[in-house]
Amino acid sequence: GENVEQHPSTLSVQEGDSAVIKCTYSDSASNYFPWYKQELGKRPQLIIDIRSNVGEKKDQRIAVTLNKTAKHFSLHITETQPEDSAVYFCAAALTDSWGKFQFGAGTQVVVTP
């Protein structure tokens, strides 16, 4: 089955700097890669996703890149702000079967003013 590894587990960045979180997956058939943000005491919420037919997707200050050959994808946050402090989870899924939805272990991002 699918296995998703996420690094780093914690990330401390200065406000205004960029943050990068990386994930690798094991099942080459996976074709959907979302990122979820979980603020303290809240539920996870989707912030961006990418499908296997594209290599990069941007939404304002966040972007996701996908390398299908290497089986890894990354989340990039530019110009970080204190409200970006949260736990971020990557995930991988196969939309054709849409059964198991495998999450990474999460990255605690702390943005210091």
By CB under 8 A, tell whether 106 contacts another protein.
Answer: yes
Nearer to another protein, 12 or 18 (CB): 12
Nearer to another protein, 1 or 113 (CB): 1
Within 10 Å of residue 55's Cβ, how many Cβ atoms? Answer: 12
Q: How far is CA 93 from CA 22, 84, 90, 112, in A?
A: 16, 25, 10, 33
The one among 19, 21, 37, 44 contacting another protein by CB under 8 A: 44
By CB under 8 A, tell whether 60 contacts another protein.
Answer: no
By CB under 8 A, tell whether 27 contacts another protein.
Answer: no
By CB under 8 A, tell whether 74 contacts another protein.
Answer: no
Within 10 Å of residue 80's Cβ, how many Cβ atoms? Answer: 21
The one among 52, 65, 78, 102 contacting another protein by CB under 8 A: 102
Within 10 Å of residue 56's Cβ, how many Cβ atoms? Answer: 12
Nearer to another protein, 78 or 108 (CB): 108
Adjacency order of strands within the sheet including 4-7: 4-7, 19-25, 72-77, 62-67, 56-59
